[in-house]
């Protein structure tokens, strides 16, 4: 950026803000006209409904659909409807696109003139970028939708490859008021004029302004400051699989959410099939779920935590976690074999009624009987098939009848095949309509639910049999005990997040139990959410989101596009669960192997490959860390070097001049020698003599951080301390939260307090990677609180974090 071009007397700034205000006023006037138009259309449609001919009704539906979608969007109160502007040179070809903007990326040959040793140019086109496109009455573009091709240069132009963009401006507004502007000059070598006056440049650039803001517990969209490498991912074609890797804070989650909005814009019809975004935790879901509505999209996107993914299929959701060693067994791909055995073996358990040992029916005036061995043979033969167990029932019925027919000897009585077939049909009908037979079938081949089979696995001896040669005996024992602690024999009880993937797998192995048919969903209803189309006054606050949430996912178990956030954390069993929701989908997968809490990354990668099959993959890498200031990133990079030697950390773009701090619970450390933070370690009361003492230290440190930052404070503790940490922080207010290390995934806070790195690292074989996650959550301040186990030096720096 060339400083000489910056002119910022108050008057110039005021004038520029005023110019944007005038444009925004015009946009709102036009929006109001459009709202009236849409309301008129709705009204007109209602009148047509009274005419009642099929043609009129179909026309009404189409009209209501169009008007409804439109009104819905226009009515949304956007914080900053209009957020960007680009001033461009004349385009090379002079052609314009459907939105009225020049399509050419490169400037026309004569756009820049050399005059008196200066390069001069006139601004030929100014485009305003916003959350939705708005055309003026004469079809000239008042606002270009951020996802439209014409908005591309707003995100992609750089001083190295500026294309036609001379100045990029981010406009900050609230409601209808423009608050300020921030400019970047992309062709600082030019002396550019707009309407005969020199082009003004205000501020230090929008990105830094955005990054410096205090955080809340809700993620913000980044629509006004998407960077070029991120834009490439957002706009990548949807075909097959898009994989995005990048370190902490590189914007993977933000990019994934913006991509969902972009895909809907590009091909709304295709994505009417729904977009599923899978998040690791409910915390991350609630942190991110406001972003899409802020981009004008909410209806077709479901954001689900892994623990809630099977809600509509298996009617269960979970938020609690198993101990790491138990989770490791439950998440392993080996569980598929165990579950397959369980789904079949459960037939023999008499879960609904005692399993009958023989089948006795009356036929041809005599008794026919199948004994235990004969029944076992039939069962064996049926289970030789691959269909889901519940769906094998018709085949079981058929083979039982075959065996009875054989036993009756009747097949020998008929030489004529036609007569034989007729006799057989009569035989089947007679037997199958007898209560004895149907009762037998219900007891012998009951329709099983996934929960009862999972509960059946809680018996140690039984699970030992089902898991033989697949799990080690100690693993099987641990699994059985965990299930026994959670479930009653009938399968009631709260499940863990990892149980959900087991339940979902079982549901597939068993087959969906027959359910009453749901009300047919009107496709137009489904597309628009017409129940939502009321007045603007109705659309206030939470009601809107609740209705959107009600509407979409309840009907849907497969999606047109699946986005997996924090993909490095999915266990093999979870990959299978997610895969079932996107069998015909295109995919976007974002993640960072260095943050994986799964102990066997190769096993997870194999499960992921199986889900994605042979679909071609396009890979992207994000390289810039927008979250952590460089001073804090240095510390995290030390753990990265231990956790994943040889991995290049992302480049931190910001610097705050504030180093990480260290404190030791219960003792005042000595001088600062060797400390990363030059100030040395602060001593805090307590010590690691028990939860209470550490608790006091945590509480005091958290209170200190709350005083130092304006926004949020995240306190990250080992998973086993999660509940007590909540108690330690009680009463400190809503700006501070306690998180188990696994829950910190994807979240960020103005200040982070990481409690006992050693405890976090020792909790599982993936502990160092989990610690890396914990150390990369802060946007401003990081305080590391050590306990005795951390072996802090005299400056309070724990052993693990020393240089």
3-state SS assignment for residue 457? coil
- What is the pattern of x (binds ligand ATP, CB under 6 A) and - over residues 57-86? ------------------------------
Tokens of 794: 């005299």
CB of 776 to ligand ATP, least distance (A): 6
CB of 622 to ligand ATP, least distance (A): 7
CB of 748 to ligand ATP, least distance (A): 6
Contacts for 472 with CB less than 8 Å, ≥ 6 apart: none
Query: Closer to ligand ATP at the Cβ: 142 or 234?
Result: 234
Can residue 211 be called a binding residue for ligand ATP (CB under 6 A)?
yes
Query: Closer to ligand ATP at the Cβ: 437 or 749?
Result: 749
3-state SS assignment for residue 242? strand
The answer to whether the annotation marks 253 as part of a ligand binding site is: yes
Query: Closer to ligand ATP at the Cβ: 248 or 449?
Result: 248
Query: Closer to ligand ATP at the Cβ: 287 or 444?
Result: 287
Residues 15-54 that bind ligand ATP (CB under 6 A): none
Can residue 248 be called a binding residue for ligand ATP (CB under 6 A)?
yes
Can residue 227 be called a binding residue for ligand ATP (CB under 6 A)?
yes
Residues 540-559 that bind ligand ATP (CB under 6 A): none
Of 6-14, 53-61, 221-229, 762-770: span binding ligand ATP (CB under 6 A): 221-229
Neighbours of 247 (CB within 10 A): 29
Q: Give how far Cα 299 sits from Cα of 70, 262, 742, Å.
A: 13, 14, 30
Query: Closer to ligand ATP at the Cβ: 156 or 507?
Result: 156
Listed in sequence order, the DSSP H helices in 384-472 are 393-408, 417-432, 435-444, 450-456, 460-466
Task: Report DSSP state, residue 153.
Answer: H
Residues 723-752 that bind ligand ATP (CB under 6 A): 746, 748
Instruction: Provide the terminal-to-terminal Cα distance of the chain, rounded to the nearest Å.
Output: 36
Query: Closer to ligand ATP at the Cβ: 245 or 480?
Result: 245
- DSSP letter for each residue of 347-389: GGGTSSSPPPS-EEEEETTEEEEE-HHHHHHHHHHHHTS-S-G
Which of these, 355, 361, 357, lies nearest to 405 by C-alpha position?
361
Of 247-255, 349-357, 571-579, 788-796: span binding ligand ATP (CB under 6 A): 247-255
The answer to whether the annotation marks 248 as part of a ligand binding site is: yes
Of 34-42, 192-200, 219-227, 609-617: span binding ligand ATP (CB under 6 A): 219-227
The answer to whether the annotation marks 117 as part of a ligand binding site is: no
The answer to whether the annotation marks 518 as part of a ligand binding site is: no
Asked if 580 and 611 count as a contact pair (C-beta separation under 8 A), the reply is: no
Q: Which residue is it, tokens 């809700």?
A: 218
Which of these, 208, 206, 203, lies nearest to 224 by C-alpha position?
206
Cα(52)–Cα(66) distance, rounded to whole angstroms?
A: 20
CB of 213 to ligand ATP, least distance (A): 9
Can residue 249 be called a binding residue for ligand ATP (CB under 6 A)?
yes
Task: Report DSSP state, residue 310.
Answer: T
Residues 655-714 that bind ligand ATP (CB under 6 A): none
Number of amino acids touching ligand ATP (CB under 6 A):
24
CB of 223 to ligand ATP, least distance (A): 9
Determine phi and psi for 112, rounding to 5 degrees: -115, 130
- Nearest-10 Cα torsion for 717, 723, 724, 730: 100
Residues 118-177 that bind ligand ATP (CB under 6 A): none
Can residue 757 be called a binding residue for ligand ATP (CB under 6 A)?
no
Of 58-66, 95-103, 217-225, 758-766: span binding ligand ATP (CB under 6 A): 217-225
Can residue 209 be called a binding residue for ligand ATP (CB under 6 A)?
no
Tokens of 521: 């969903």
Asked if 355 and 401 count as a contact pair (C-beta separation under 8 A), the reply is: no
Cα(571)–Cα(578) distance, rounded to whole angstroms?
A: 10
Can residue 225 be called a binding residue for ligand ATP (CB under 6 A)?
yes
Neighbours of 349 (CB within 10 A): 17
- What is the pattern of x (binds ligand ATP, CB under 6 A) and - over residues 589-608? ---x--x-------------
Of 114-122, 218-226, 269-277, 551-559: span binding ligand ATP (CB under 6 A): 218-226
Of 194-202, 245-253, 330-338, 494-502: span binding ligand ATP (CB under 6 A): 245-253
Neighbours of 610 (CB within 10 A): 13
Tokens of 483: 């299930």
Angle at alpha carbon of residue 658, lines to 657 and 663, rounded to 5°: 160
HSE-up (13 A, CA, CB side) for residue 406: 9
Cα(334)–Cα(475) distance, rounded to whole angstroms?
A: 11
Asked if 250 and 626 count as a contact pair (C-beta separation under 8 A), the reply is: yes
Cα(265)–Cα(47) distance, rounded to whole angstroms?
A: 31
Q: Which of 68, 91, 251, 582 binds ligand ATP (CB under 6 A)?
A: 251
Can residue 280 be called a binding residue for ligand ATP (CB under 6 A)?
no
The answer to whether the annotation marks 337 as part of a ligand binding site is: no
3-state secondary structure 549-581: HHHCHHHCCCCCEEEECCHHHCCHHHHHHHHCC
Can residue 317 be called a binding residue for ligand ATP (CB under 6 A)?
no
- What is the pattern of x (binds ligand ATP, CB under 6 A) and - over residues 254-273? x-------------------
CB of 790 to ligand ATP, least distance (A): 23
Cα(337)–Cα(462) distance, rounded to whole angstroms?
A: 15
CB of 225 to ligand ATP, least distance (A): 4
Tokens of 143: 């606002």
Of 66-74, 81-89, 187-195, 244-252: span binding ligand ATP (CB under 6 A): 244-252
The answer to whether the annotation marks 93 as part of a ligand binding site is: no
Query: Closer to ligand ATP at the Cβ: 157 or 230?
Result: 230
Can residue 564 be called a binding residue for ligand ATP (CB under 6 A)?
no
Of 243-251, 314-322, 366-374, 702-710: span binding ligand ATP (CB under 6 A): 243-251
Element (H, E) at 113: strand 112-115
CB of 470 to ligand ATP, least distance (A): 34
Query: Closer to ligand ATP at the Cβ: 211 or 641?
Result: 211
CB of 686 to ligand ATP, least distance (A): 30
The answer to whether the annotation marks 247 as part of a ligand binding site is: yes
Query: Closer to ligand ATP at the Cβ: 295 or 448?
Result: 295
Of 196-204, 246-254, 435-443, 536-544: span binding ligand ATP (CB under 6 A): 246-254
The answer to whether the annotation marks 464 as part of a ligand binding site is: no
Which of these, 285, 304, 301, lies nearest to 293 by C-alpha position?
301
Which of these, 603, 610, 558, 604, lies nearest to 581 by C-alpha position?
558
Can residue 226 be called a binding residue for ligand ATP (CB under 6 A)?
yes
Which of these, 309, 254, 314, lies nearest to 280 by C-alpha position?
309
CB of 319 to ligand ATP, least distance (A): 19
Can residue 210 be called a binding residue for ligand ATP (CB under 6 A)?
yes
Can residue 184 be called a binding residue for ligand ATP (CB under 6 A)?
no
Query: Closer to ligand ATP at the Cβ: 17 or 633?
Result: 633
Tokens of 28: 């709102």
Contacts for 146 with CB less than 8 Å, ≥ 6 apart: 83, 84, 129, 130, 131, 154, 223, 295
CB of 760 to ligand ATP, least distance (A): 16
Listed in sequence order, the DSSP H helices in 235-334 are 252-266, 282-288, 291-294, 311-314, 324-331
Q: Which residues are annotated as a binding site?
A: 246-253
**What are the residues binding ligand ATP (CB under 6 A)?**
207, 210-211, 220, 222, 225-227, 230, 246, 248-254, 592, 595, 626-627, 746, 748, 776
Q: Which residues are annotated as a binding site for ATP?
A: 246-253
């Amino acid at each position: 950026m060339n400083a000489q071009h910056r002119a910022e007397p108050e008057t110039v700034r005021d004038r520029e803000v005023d110019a944007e205000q005038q444009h925004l006023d015009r946009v709102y006037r036009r929006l109001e006209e459009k709202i009236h138009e849409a309301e008129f259309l709705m009204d007109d449609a209602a009148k047509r409904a009274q005419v009642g001919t099929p043609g009129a009704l179909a026309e009404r539906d189409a009209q209501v659909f169009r008007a409804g979608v439109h009104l819905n969007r226009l009515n949304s109160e956007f914080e900053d409807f209009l957020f960007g502007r680009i001033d461009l040179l004349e385009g090379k070809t002079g052609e314009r696109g459907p939105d009225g903007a020049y399509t050419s990326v490169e400037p026309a040959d004569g756009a820049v003139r050399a005059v008196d040793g200066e390069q001069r140019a006139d601004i030929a086109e100014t485009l305003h970028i916003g959350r939705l496109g708005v055309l003026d009455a004469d079809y000239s573009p008042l606002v270009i939708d951020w996802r439209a091709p014409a908005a591309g240069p707003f995100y992609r132009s750089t001083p190295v490859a500026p294309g036609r963009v001379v100045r990029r401006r981010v406009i900050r507004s609230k409601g209808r008021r423009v608050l300020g502007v921030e400019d970047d000059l992309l062709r600082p070598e030019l002396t550019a004029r707009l309407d005969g006056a020199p082009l003004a440049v205000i501020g230090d650039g929008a990105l830094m302004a955005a990054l410096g803001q205090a955080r809340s517990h809700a993620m913000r969209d980044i629509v006004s400051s998407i960077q070029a490498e991120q834009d490439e991912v957002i706009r990548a074609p949807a075909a097959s699989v898009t994989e995005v890797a990048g370190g902490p804070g590189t914007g993977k989650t933000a990019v994934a959410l913006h991509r969902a909005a972009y895909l809907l814009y590009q091909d709304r019809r295709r994505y009417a099939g729904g977009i599923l975004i899978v998040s690791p935790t409910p915390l991350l879901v609630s942190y991110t779920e406001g972003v899409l509505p802020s981009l004008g999209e909410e209806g077709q996107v479901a954001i689900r935590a892994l623990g809630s993914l099977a809600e509509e299929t298996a009617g269960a959701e979970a938020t609690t976690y198993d101990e790491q060693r138990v989770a490791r067994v439950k998440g392993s791909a080996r569980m598929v074999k165990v579950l397959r055995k369980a789904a079949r073996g459960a037939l023999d358990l008499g879960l609904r009624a005692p399993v009958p040992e023989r089948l006795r029916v009356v036929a041809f005036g005599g008794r026919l009987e199948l004994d235990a061995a004969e029944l076992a043979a039939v069962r064996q033969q049926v289970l030789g098939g691959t269909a889901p167990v519940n769906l094998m029932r018709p085949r079981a019925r058929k083979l039982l009848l075959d065996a009875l027919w054989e036993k009756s000897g009747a097949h020998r009585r008929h030489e004529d095949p036609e007569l034989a077939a007729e006799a057989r049909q009569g035989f089947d009908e007679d037997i199958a309509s007898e209560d004895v037979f149907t009762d037998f079938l219900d007891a012998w081949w009951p329709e099983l639910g996934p929960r009862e089979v999972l509960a059946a696995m809680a018996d140690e001896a039984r699970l030992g049999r089902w898991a033989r040669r697949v799990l080690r005996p100690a693993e099987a024992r641990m699994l059985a005990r965990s299930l026994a602690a959670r479930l009653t024999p009938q399968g009631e009880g709260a499940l863990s997040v990892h149980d959900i993937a087991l339940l979902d797998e079982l549901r597939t192995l068993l087959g969906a139990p027959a359910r009453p048919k749901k009300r047919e969903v009107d496709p137009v209803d489904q597309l628009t959410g017409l129940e939502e189309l009321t007045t603007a006054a109705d659309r206030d606050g939470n009601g809107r989101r609740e209705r959107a949430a009600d509407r979409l996912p309840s009907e849907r178990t497969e999606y047109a596009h699946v986005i997996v956030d924090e993909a490095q954390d999915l266990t093999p069993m979870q990959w299978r669960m997610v895969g079932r929701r996107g069998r015909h989908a295109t995919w976007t997968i974002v993640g960072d192997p260095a943050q994986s809490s799964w102990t066997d990354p190769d096993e997870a990668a194999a499960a992921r490959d199986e889900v994605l099959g042979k679909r071609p993959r396009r890979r992207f890498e994000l390289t810039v860390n927008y979250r952590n200031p460089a001073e804090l990133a240095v510390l995290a990079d030390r753990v990265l070097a231990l956790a994943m030697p040889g991995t290049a950390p992302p480049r931190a773009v910001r610097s705050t001049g504030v180093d990480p701090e260290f404190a030791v619970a219960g003792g005042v450390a000595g001088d600062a020698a060797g400390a990363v933070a030059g100030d040395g370690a602060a001593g805090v009361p307590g010590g690691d003599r028990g939860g209470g003492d550490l608790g006091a230290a945590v509480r005091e440190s958290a209170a200190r951080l709350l005083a130092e930052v304006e926004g949020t404070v995240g306190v990250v503790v080992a998973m086993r301390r999660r509940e007590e940490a909540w108690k330690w922080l009680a009463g400190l207010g809503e700006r501070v939260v306690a998180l188990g290390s696994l829950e910190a995934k994807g979240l960020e806070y103005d200040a982070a307090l990481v409690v006992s790195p050693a405890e976090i690292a020792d909790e599982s074989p993936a502990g160092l990677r989990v610690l890396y996650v914990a150390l990369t959550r802060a946007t401003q301040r990081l305080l590391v609180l050590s306990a005795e186990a951390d072996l802090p030096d005299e400056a309070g720096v724990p052993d693990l974090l020393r240089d």
